[in-house]
Amino acid sequence: MQNRVSKRTLFGFIGPAVFGLAIVGIAPLLYAVWTSLHFFNLTKLRQVEFIGLANYWEVLTDEVFWQAMGRTFFLLGTALPLQIGLGLGIALLLHQPGLTLVKTLCRLSLVLPMATTYAVVGLLGQVMFNQKFGVVNQLMGGADINWIGDPQNAFIMIVFWDVWQWTPFVALVLLAGLTMVPGEVEEAARLETKSWWVILRYVQLPFLLPGLTAVLILRTADTLKLFDMVFTLTRGGPGAATEFISLMIQRVGFRAFDQGLASAQAVILLIITIVLAQIYIRLFYKEV
Amino acid sequence: MRLKTLLCTSALVSLGATGATADGHGWSLAKAAEPYAGTTVDVVFLLRPGYEAIEAMLPAFEEETGIKVNIIKHPYENALGEQVRDFVAQGDLDIALIDLVWIGNFAENEWIVPVEEIQASYPDIIDPDLDMDDFFPLVLNAFGGWNDTIYGLPFDNYSGLMFYNRCMLEEAGFDGPPETWEELKDTYGPALTKDGKYAFALQSKRNETQSADSFARVLWPFGGSFLDDEFKSNLMSEESQAGLKFRQDLMQYMPDGIVAYDHAETVNAFAQGDVAMITEWSAFYSTVVSPETSAVADCVEIAPEPMGPAGRKPALGGFSLAVAEQADDDEKAAAWLFIQWATSKANAKEYLERGGVPARQSVYQDEGLAETYKFIPALVESWQDGVPEFRPRFAEWPEITEIVQEWGTKMMLGEVTTEEGAQEIGTRMEEVLESAGYYDGDKPLAQ
């Protein structure tokens, strides 16, 4: 079959995509790698010089970098299970038979949080979680909770917004997985048992695994590069309570202007993301 | 008699209004700008009252000169990054907006043109009434000068002032503001902190506000400083530690979550009557005295910042405008004409009335203005004896301020002690300065 298609045709179809990817993805990556091997400060361009792996060594031995990384994974470990749990619950509810119109409206409304720009979410958060005027404290009976100025509360606030914005995504992916379950198999299972857990575990879950793997990979990558919402909401503060890894890279690269060091941090982050994606695929991904 | 008359006439002419003086020298803005009519100059402005003031005055300049000024607005936090990227990429900006802590960076990178060079290259566009001596010397040197060279003219000028709510103070039995920081903490603090109201708010958000408005503000009055004479950290000195510990003690009289307060939150807390006193930039005067934005407009009074054991040492901050090196010849001339006009003696009064704060000494000699704008006496006093290196102005400040912001906030949150935080800042600060070459003698110890 392959022999019947000429290489020119293949290149004609695939070439533009590869070319586009190379321009917008590979070239900047190669430039970042080149930059990471140099002393490259935007305000000291006369002093640009090749310094080998010195930037990488500085990153790997920088306590602040690993604290930011730890904080980021703590956010991932807190928010992702909540998103999967809530998303699965919503997906199972929407998978129930009947109430077609309501379910359609629910599915449509699930898109809204995802469609909200990250920066707007952050600005909304500033207003809603304001200690004195915010609606959140008002809804809590006029509570006087300092959300933005307290390290723990600020972290909780970030988790809340991340869960609010991305649970619908998880729900929609899992709902798509549930629709893949053959109707006759599910019906047969329901005749065998009344336990929803047994049906979920042995009938539905195998069909959900590819979607779950995608969710894990995408949400991990998204969390590792979470920036806009946190920047507009807390700017990494108070202290370093919400300084996640992408905020730290932005701070080093665009506020201290050390592009070399920031590029080394970004390359290390990329490597961690790729390794995690491979682990997820090996551990969770199974074709039904 | 004729000689006397002539001398008197000459003196009157030289003291006259700009237009008259200019005509006397045969110089006018319109004539000087003729060759550059149709030129467009690009400049970054901030979202602050001083910029709105000059923007409102701009049509007169554009009409008279035919020069178009293209204003690109950014919040403060983005302004440095945007300009650095533009200058590195040889972009479009023809005028540099320079915070006093950016001047060393911009000058050392040769992104800005010295005023002397403009004067030598374009003698025909120099206003005979430019009168550089009329700028407050401290402000001109700190905001526009680096290594004995003047690059920029002071444009948006601030000094730290104490804004206090006279009504709240009187209710608590005080007939005036505290004279010293200790008095503020020990006497005013307990008396004014009650029923959900606080005596004081010190804006301390983790950005330049933490470094400039909070950390540095408690260093200098207590005799501390960032660096000693050899450019080593001075943060572990007894004086610096006294200032930093004072801030920790003072926090009991500030609202919860003060580390999340930026200028907006602080000014708002004062304007809503939740806080009795704040130390803020003069630029926020118009906000707190306007009934549209302040619930306590009638109670607002202004005083110089309190004194510490080492004296008053108020916060110093502000911006200058300088011609960008990357501009072409016509753009450089047009840029200078705009800068010269915006900071001129002739426009200083209107600029002040529209919400700006000029750095011209002559405008503040009008006693009527001091009655209208209550901040003027305190401002003028602050500009007599400020600290130019309130924050070091060298090129390494953007890196150092990030360190101060992080660890200064951690101190306030109690995550580290003032000693631990100062030690960490000092070590990291010295690493930055060492790699910049200050300890090898590669760079002069200028800040």
pLDDT tens figures, B86-143: 999 999 999 999 999 999 999 999 999 999 999 999 999 999 999 999 999 999 999 9
Burial class of residue B29 (count of CB atoms within 10 Å of its CB; 0-12, 13-18, 19+): buried
CB atoms inside a 10 Å sphere around CB B187 = 15
Closest CA relative to residue B236, chosen from B438, B398, B427? B427
CA neighbor of B136 nearest in space, from B329, B348, B331 = B348
A79-93, A215-229, B370-384, B425-439: segment of lowest average pLDDT: B370-384
A147: left (phi over 0), alpha (psi -120 to 50) or beta: alpha
Residues of chain B positioned with their CB less than 8 A from the CB of A255? 80-81, 398, 402
**A-B contacts at Cβ under 8 angstroms:** 72
pLDDT at residue B5 greater than cutoff 80: no
- Write down the H helix ranges in B301-417: 329-342, 345-353, 367-372, 376-382, 397-413
- Using the 8-state DSSP alphabet, how is residue B436 labeled? H
> What dihedral do alpha carbons A274, A275, A277, A278 form, nearest 10°?
120
Give the residue, A5 or B332, on which the prediction is more confident: B332
| 3-class DSSP state of B265 | helix
Q: Is B159-316+387-436 in the same CATH topology as B2-157+318-382?
A: yes
B259 and A146: CB-CB below 8 Å?
no
CATH level 2 (architecture), domain B159-316+387-436? 3-Layer(aba) Sandwich (3.40)
Average pLDDT over residues B239-257: 96
Q: Does B88 touch chain A (CB under 8 A)?
A: yes
pLDDT at B266: 94
pLDDT digits (tens, 9 = 90+) for A4-34: 788 889 899 999 999 999 899 899 999 999 9
Interface test with A, best of B406, B424, B440 (most A CBs within 10 A): B406
CA gap A3, A89 in Å, rounded: 49
Tokens 């304007």: give the residue. B271
Smallest CA–CA distance from B77 into chain A, residue = A255
* pLDDT tens-digit map of B44-93: 999 888 999 999 999 999 999 999 999 999 998 899 999 999 999 999 99
| pLDDT the model gives residue B369 | 85
pLDDT the model gives residue A272: 93
Strands (E), chain A: 38-39, 49-50
Q: Which residues of chain A fall below pLDDT 50?
A: 1
Sequence-distant (6+) residues with CB within 8 A of A267 are: A32, A33, A36, A56
Does B186 contact A at CB distance below 8 Å? Answer: no
- Residues of B within 8 A of A146 (CB-CB) are 256-257, 260
Is the CB of residue B174 less than 8 Å from the CB of residue B364?
A: no
- Domain spans of chain B, in order of start: 2-157+318-382, 159-316+387-436
Across the interface, whether the CB atoms of B81 and A44 are under 8 A apart is answered no
Mean pLDDT of B169-189: 96
| Interchain contact, B206 vs A235, CB within 8 Å | yes
Interface list for B 278-337 with A (CB within 8 A): none
Contact A43/B109, CB-based, under 8 Å?
Answer: yes
Distance CA B201, CA B181 (A): 13
Residue type, B192: L
Q: What distance in Å separates the CA atoms of residue B69 and residue B327, rounded to the nearest whole number?
A: 14
Beta strands B153-165 and B149-150, pairing class: unpaired
Structure tokens at B367: 């006693």
Measured between alpha carbons, how far is B266 from B260 in angstroms, rounded to an integer? Answer: 10
User: How far is the C-alpha of A265 from the C-alpha of B227, rounded, in Å?
Assistant: 30
Read off the pTM. Answer: 0.81
Q: Indicate the residue type of A49.
A: E
pLDDT at residue B420, as a whole number: 97
d(CA A224, CA A68): 10
In whole angstroms, how far apart are CA A3 and each of A13, A16, A69, B137? Answer: 16, 22, 49, 82
User: How large is the average pLDDT for residues B307-312?
Assistant: 92
CATH class of B2-157+318-382: alpha beta
In this complex, the residue of A42, A235, A239 whose CB is nearest that of residue B410 is: A239
Residues of chain A positioned with their CB less than 8 A from the CB of B80: 255
What tokens appear for A17 in the block?
Answer: 């995509």
Alpha-carbon span B401 to A256, nearest angstrom? 9
Q: Work out the minimum CA distance from B251 to partner chain A, whole angstroms.
A: 13
* Complex-level ipTM: 0.76
- Evaluate if residue B385 carries a pLDDT over 80: no
> In the Cβ-directed half-sphere of B393, how many Cα atoms lie within 13 Å?
26
Domains along chain A with CATH numbers = 62-284 (1.10.3720.10)
Per DSSP, the three-state class of A40 is coil
| Per-residue pLDDT at B259 exceeds 70 | yes
Could you tell me if B205 and B260 are in contact, meaning their C-beta atoms sit under 8 angstroms apart? yes
Contact yes or no for A150 and B257 at CB 8 A: yes
How many residues are recorded in chain B?
447
